[in-house]
């Protein structure tokens, strides 16, 4: 039950006026696909305890956020800081939305690097694409999704905020070490914090610099390395698919098959068959 606070309702971390279709928890964030369940006239004034993003996927939405049009339509992404009080709601009878709930720990990590907005605002179109990428990771997760989604969420936070003028110069040395660490840790579930600590930089700086140089987040890079190793094992060995999956860093054969088909357009079995001598 959502608690009341005087004349408005208080929504705790991850709570929204919607029915969850799917959800994924990653370090510092909770991702969820939802459909609205409360009619417009019944949505009351409410306060969100934690910061969050709302990505409008379908339907018409009323928002009091800064830069919001009279009626928001998909695709729109809105950032609400902790303690946001509003009566934002769907005007249409149907709709779909995706939320990124930001834990206090993740917000604190981002705040060490940037100055986050203290009021709700509609984000520019380039960040809509970034939010969509997070939504896709949540909708079709695999073994690399937690790290990929964590990096994308931190980047979204960083690009929502105003950077402080204290970014250290780019260091090819530590960036190469981070990349090698990922390549050498295919079977480990490293967090961004662990990778950043190992190379001596801030997690936000790690994910932003990594993507600027390699055009991929650390999580996406790790997934690519795992897929490369899996493809090599499939072509060069007769090991069962379950063993190939574990040796490549995937949780199981199902995760391997899902990621492999999405990346290469064929199943692991079909790939192996086509690469047999």
Residue 7 has a pLDDT of: 64
Q: What angle do CA 92, 18, 156 make, to 5 degrees?
A: 95
Q: Where in the chain is the domain with CATH 2.60.120.10?
A: 4-139
Q: Please state whether beta strands 114-115 and 72-73 pair in parallel, antiparallel, or not at all (unpaired).
A: unpaired
pLDDT at 277: 59
> What pLDDT, on a 0 to 100 scale, did the predictor assign at position 14?
94
The CATH topology of domain 4-139 is: Jelly Rolls (2.60.120)
Local mean pLDDT, 10-residue blocks, the chain (277 residues): 59 94 93 94 93 94 89 91 94 88 92 86 88 91 87 91 49 80 84 91 89 83 86 87 90 87 84 76
In the three-class reduction of DSSP (H, G, I as helix; E, B as strand; rest coil), residue 92 is classed as coil
> Measured between alpha carbons, how far is 178 from 277 in angstroms, rounded to an integer?
36
Pinpoint the residues of the chain covered by CATH 1.10.10.60. Answer: 231-274
Q: Which 3 state secondary structure label does DSSP give 266?
A: coil
Homologous superfamily of the 231-274 domain (CATH): Homeodomain-like (1.10.10.60)
Global pTM value: 0.71
Instruction: Express each pLDDT in 116-131 by its tens digit.
Output: 888 999 998 888 889 9
């Amino acid at each position: 039950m959502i608690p009341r606070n005087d004349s408005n309702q208080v929504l705790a971390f991850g709570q929204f006026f919607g029915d969850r279709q799917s959800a994924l928890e990653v370090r510092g964030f909770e991702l969820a696909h939802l459909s609205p369940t409360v009619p417009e006239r019944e949505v009351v004034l409410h306060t969100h305890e934690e910061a969050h993003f709302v990505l409008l996927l379908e339907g018409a939405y009323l928002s009091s956020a800064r830069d919001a049009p009279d009626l928001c339509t998909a695709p729109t992404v809105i950032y609400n800081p902790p303690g946001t009080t509003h009566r934002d709601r769907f005007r249409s009878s149907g709709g779909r939305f995706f939320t990124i709930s930001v834990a206090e720990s993740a917000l604190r990590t981002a705040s060490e690097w940037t100055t986050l907005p203290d009021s709700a605002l509609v984000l520019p179109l380039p960040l809509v694409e970034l939010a969509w990428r997070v939504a896709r990771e949540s909708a079709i997760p695999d073994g690399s999704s937690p790290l990929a989604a964590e990096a994308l969420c931190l980047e979204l936070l960083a690009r929502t905020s105003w950077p402080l003028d204290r970014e250290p110069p780019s260091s090819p040395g530590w960036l190469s070490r981070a990349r090698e660490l990922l390549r050498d840790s295919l079977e480990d579930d490293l967090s961004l914090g662990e990778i950043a600590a190992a190379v001596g930089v801030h997690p936000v700086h790690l994910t932003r610099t990594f993507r600027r140089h390699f055009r991929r987040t650390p999580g996406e890079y790790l997934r690519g390395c795992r897929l490369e190793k899996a493809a090599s094992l499939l072509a060069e060995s007769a090991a069962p698919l379950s063993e190939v999956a574990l040796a490549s860093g995937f949780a199981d054969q199902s995760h391997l098959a899902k990621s492999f088909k999405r990346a290469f357009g064929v199943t692991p079995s079909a790939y192996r068959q086509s690469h047999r001598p």
